[in-house]
Amino acid sequence: MYCADRRRLFYYLHPDKNVEQKYKIERIPKYSGSYFDLVNTVEAEGGDTRQTLKNLAERLKLARVGAVGHADTTKDTAEKQLTSREPVHIPIPDYFGDKVQPLEAYSQISEENLKKCIREKKYAEAIEILKKLNLINPKKSIYFADQIRFLEKALVNSKK
């Protein structure tokens, strides 16, 4: 048997211990914020539902503009405030600035230079070239990582 709520399962298995809830949560319609509760409250007070909803809509518009709290604020002043707003210029920060190296700096790096460094046994320089080539060509990252590991081992063996 499956039951999502353990309390219900307990009371199903032990019906003699079924105790009513001590605290019943009462919903106060005036403060719940529901549209239908508002309509029911206005009708119970004997007011006009349409006029109350129009007043509510106007107050919400004024609140959106930020004019709530001013006694002389009307619909016309709210529209004036909406139309008189000027666009705000937000500067976009340049996160990269001059830190980005142009492609010309990487143009002299190639696999031919890498092979030349390996032939001359300049393994540290070859590792740096491989790391830069990895940045330029990420599709070959597995190949470059394998080559870097091989060169690091060769560098350690050459120092012995």
DSSP assignment of 23-50 equals: SPPPP-GGGS--HHHHHHHHHHHT--HH
Report the C-alpha gap between 114 and 109 in whole angstroms: 8
The 3-state DSSP composition of the chain as helix, strand, coil percent (nearest 5) reads 65, 0, 35
Report the C-alpha gap between 122 and 113 in whole angstroms: 11
User: Contact, 75 vs 65, CB < 8 A?
Assistant: no
Q: Which pLDDT belongs to residue 39?
A: 73
User: Contact, 126 vs 118, CB < 8 A?
Assistant: yes
Q: Which pLDDT belongs to residue 68?
A: 47
The residue ranges of every structural domain in the chain are 26-81, 105-159
What's the chain's length in residues? 160
Per-residue pLDDT of the chain (160 residues; tens, 9 = 90+): 677 888 888 888 888 876 655 555 666 655 566 667 777 777 777 777 677 778 777 877 887 777 545 545 556 666 666 566 666 666 776 665 555 555 555 556 788 888 899 999 899 999 999 999 888 888 888 998 999 999 999 989 988 7
Tell me if the pTM is above 0.85: no
Report the C-alpha gap between 63 and 52 in whole angstroms: 16
User: Contact, 37 vs 29, CB < 8 A?
Assistant: yes
